[in-house]
Every structure is written in structure tokens, then in C-alpha cells.
Amino acid sequence: MATDLDKPVSRPAQSQPGHGGTTAWLLQVVSGVLLIVLLGAHIVAQHFIVRGGLRDYAQVVSYLANPAVIVIESLFVVVLIWHAMLGLRAVLLDFGFGRRGQILITRAVVALGAVTAAYSFWLIAALAAKS
């Protein structure tokens, strides 16, 4: 006599190979490590090497006059948004939406990330142009 305990356990669709679960998790880990490095650099540059502990507007504009700083801050923005959007997507997918819901969530998160990145790059460019 077979019972429910004798039946094989199937994994949820999100964790099966080819459904993006492993890839998304790996990208989240990589962006998290990069985020630690870039956030550390950002905090040191913005708070620890500045007299008074925080840059004022004029100091930020002067700081962004260096092209290397613009590249590092832009990379920080990309990694931060990437990490945040992967996390948001993972939380929303945990609610158990069907395939169509998963696709819509992914598209919405990509759109939100793109808008956030566009605004961030515009802001960096606007501040850099003032120098």
C-alpha cells in the first residue's frame, strides 16, 4: 500500500535548472560582493577623507570633476540597482505567481531598474557638468 510519504518529492519550478533560479541567485551573490567593495569605496570617499565627515554640494561637484570618480560612482549605481532589482524580483516571485505573473513581474522590475538607472545617470551627469 503506497502512502504520500512513498511518493517522490518534486522541486518547485523556480529551483529547477533552466528556470533562472540558480542564475539569478548567482548574479545576486556576485552583485552583493561587488556592492560591498563599491559601497566601501563610496563611504570612504564621501565620509572618511572629507573634513567635517560629509561632502557639501560644492565638494561633490568638485569630486565628480574626475572622470575616474564618475566611472566608479556609475558602476556603483549599476551594481546597486542590479542587486536591488534581483532582490525585489525574488521577493515578489516568492508569492507563487504563475508563469504569466512571473513574466510580468520580471518586466516590471526591469522597467523600474531602467528608470532608476536613467535618473541616476542623469543626476551624475548633471552634477559633473557643473564642475
Identify whether 14 is part of a domain. Answer: no
Identify whether 112 is part of a domain. Answer: yes
Q: How confident is the model at residue 8 (pLDDT cuts 50, 70, 90)?
A: low
Mean pLDDT of the chain: 86
How many structural domains comprise the chain? 1
C-beta separation of 115 from 36 below 8 A: no
Q: How confident is the model at residue 18 (pLDDT cuts 50, 70, 90)?
A: very low
Identify whether 4 is part of a domain. Answer: no
User: What is the reported pLDDT for 46?
Assistant: 84
Identify whether 119 is part of a domain. Answer: yes
CA distances 36 to 6, 43, 74, 120, Å, are 45, 10, 15, 19
Identify whether 66 is part of a domain. Answer: yes
Work out the average pLDDT over 87-98.
Answer: 94
Work out the average pLDDT over 13-34.
Answer: 74
pLDDT at residue 17 greater than cutoff 70: no
Identify whether 85 is part of a domain. Answer: yes
Identify whether 118 is part of a domain. Answer: yes
Here the cell at position 107 is 518586466
Supply the range of the domain harboring residue 103.
23-129
pLDDT, tens digit, 9 for 90 and up, residues 41-91: 988 888 888 887 788 889 889 989 999 999 999 999 999 999 999 999 999
Residue 84 is part of a domain; what is its CATH number?
A: 1.20.1300.10
Identify whether 10 is part of a domain. Answer: no
Work out the average pLDDT over 26-33.
Answer: 93
